[in-house]
Amino acid sequence: MDEALLPTGMSGRVEMRTPDEVSAMLALRSCGWGTKRIAAELGCSRNTVRRWLAEGGWRSARPAARNKALDGLESWLAERFRRHAGNADVVRQELAAEHGIEVSLRTVERAVAHLRRELRAEARATVRFETRPGQQLQIDFGERRVRIGEQMEKVFFFVATLGYSRRLHVRAFAAERQEHWFEGLESTFRTFGGVPEEVLLDNARALIQHHDPVSREVVVNPKLHAFARHWGFQVKACAPYRARTKGKDERGVGYVKANAIAGRSFESFAALEAHLEAWTRDVADVRVHGTTGEAPRRRFERDEAARLRPAAGIPPFLSGRDLLRRVTSDCSVEVDGNAYSVPWRLIGERVTVTVTGPELRVLHAGREVARHALRAGRKGRVTDPAHFAGIGRRPRQPIAEEPPPLLRPLSEYDAVAGGAW
């Protein structure tokens, strides 16, 4: 028999026998038969009988262990696999460069299969923790296409969740820019009547400049830093690409999409905002939360409201934008998907558009030429009739009372044509 296939615990050459033959060996041995007689009866060697009798019963064959190319490199493979975030091909390349071992990608993938399962489990794992009343506010943005009027528009939803009471605050915006994060936060502080100790957020580009996944060093946008100092809270960012490290997977944005927005249409953006306000008050605030077992509004008023730093008396943090635009042929500039009128004489000129809070100003050569209230939604138009005054008025040319005289007499034309008709 090939030594590669041996019964468990056996070594050396041994003839493989069936379970019935091994049982017969044991039965004959119990009857007092010797190994020589048993071997002659069953047609096998005496060594085969001895080995199966020593085994005490039939056992399946097992393949003999063979040396593998990656034996002894288990720790090295684990370290490199984690360093390269599960990229087995990079591990294969470094294996050849550093150890001179040329193997196929499939060989490396088999060797790190258990490590890949661990990485997937870590990515899905959530460590739930509870925060003190007034300690933490979690914020996030989500987007969804919503029917507003006669068309589908992309709407961005700002959702803030208090960590203790799970009370929500929701706002709708036409975009997801830094000023929208700030406006959503200020609206949350005004609605809840106070400011928590810390605000936990994802690594949004508008707010976080850099977050090292190894050292956990966070570089906050300077304007967010100023905003946090203005309102008196600390900024905390979850680990990059690990939104679950927020601790509570509240899925506030998903709740808003599935409950407040799903299947609904709105006459205008203002109607959408009014609906969100009513839905938060009548549904989200009074539902029995699955984790706390209480209505968020009741839990907030009983335990958390008094723990927030009062927001009364804190002025708004004015976040502004300075944009460069060229006045189009329809006498307007475009900002966030909406058009705002500008005096028609500036068509083709470059202007500066300043957005500060709810107001938009247009300046040309340092002089203000237009001022509008900022419009919510998209594809809207805000006009000032004064910007079109005088357009289309051109001086009329006087009409001659008599036609000008002919340059040549008609007789000359007759001569060229061969005479009169």
Exposed e or buried b per residue across 334-351, where buried means at least 16 C-beta atoms within 10 angstroms of its C-beta? ebbebbbbbbbebeeeeb
The answer to whether residue 1 scores a pLDDT higher than 50 is: no
Least confident among 26-35, 92-101, 122-131, 249-258: 122-131
350-364 pLDDT, tens digit per residue, is 999 988 878 899 999
Question: What is the bridge-based pairing of β-strands 198-201 and 367-373?
Answer: unpaired
| Counts for the chain of helices (H) and strands (E), in that order | 13, 19
390 or 181: which carries more pLDDT confidence? 181
Strand partners, 195: 309
Q: What are phi and psi of 29, to 5 degrees?
A: -65, -40
- Inter-residue contact 192 to 305 (CB < 8 Å): yes
pLDDT given for residue 313 in this prediction: 87
Average pLDDT over the chain, rounded to an integer: 82
Vertex 232: Cα angle to 231 and 236 (nearest 5): 105
How much is the average pLDDT of 9-35? 77
**340 three-class SS:** strand
Dihedral of alpha carbons 93, 98, 101, 106, sign: negative
pLDDT given for residue 249 in this prediction: 41
DSSP characters for 355-407? EETTEEEEEETTEEEEEEEPPPSSS-EE--GGGGTTTT--PPPPPPSSPPPPS
The answer to whether residue 384 scores a pLDDT higher than 90 is: yes
How much is the average pLDDT of 28-46? 87
Least confident among 42-51, 137-146, 183-192, 411-420: 411-420
Tokens, residue 237: 């960012």
315 or 308: which carries more pLDDT confidence? 308
pTM as predicted: 0.55
**212 three-class SS:** coil
pLDDT given for residue 170 in this prediction: 95
Dihedral of alpha carbons 272, 278, 282, 287, sign: positive
pLDDT given for residue 408 in this prediction: 63
Burial class (CB in 10 A: 0-12, 13-18, 19+), 410: exposed
Return the residue matching tokens 């001179």: 100
At residue 138 the predicted structure's pLDDT band, cuts being 50, 70 and 90, is: very high
H/E stretch holding 209: strand 208-211
How much is the average pLDDT of 211-221? 69
106 or 241: which carries more pLDDT confidence? 106
Task: Measure the CA–CA gap between 236 and 196, rounded to whole angstroms.
Answer: 12
Task: Measure the CA–CA gap between 208 and 186, rounded to whole angstroms.
Answer: 18
Least confident among 69-73, 238-242, 296-300, 319-323: 238-242
141-174 pLDDT, tens digit per residue, is 999 999 998 889 999 999 999 999 999 999 999 8
Return the residue matching tokens 């967010």: 224
pLDDT given for residue 211 in this prediction: 64
Burial class (CB in 10 A: 0-12, 13-18, 19+), 134: buried
Least confident among 21-25, 80-84, 106-110, 405-409: 405-409
How much is the average pLDDT of 290-301? 91
287 or 412: which carries more pLDDT confidence? 287
The answer to whether residue 344 scores a pLDDT higher than 60 is: yes
At residue 272 the predicted structure's pLDDT band, cuts being 50, 70 and 90, is: very high
Closest CA to 193 of 286, 301, 305: 305
- Inter-residue contact 220 to 209 (CB < 8 Å): yes
Who contacts 127 (Cβ-Cβ below 8 Å, separation ≥6)? Answer: 245, 247
322 or 310: which carries more pLDDT confidence? 310
Tokens, residue 411: 């007789």
135 or 406: which carries more pLDDT confidence? 135
Closest CA to 112 of 83, 86, 94: 86
Instruction: Count the Cβ atoms, other than its own, within 10 Å of residue 196.
Output: 29
pLDDT given for residue 420 in this prediction: 53
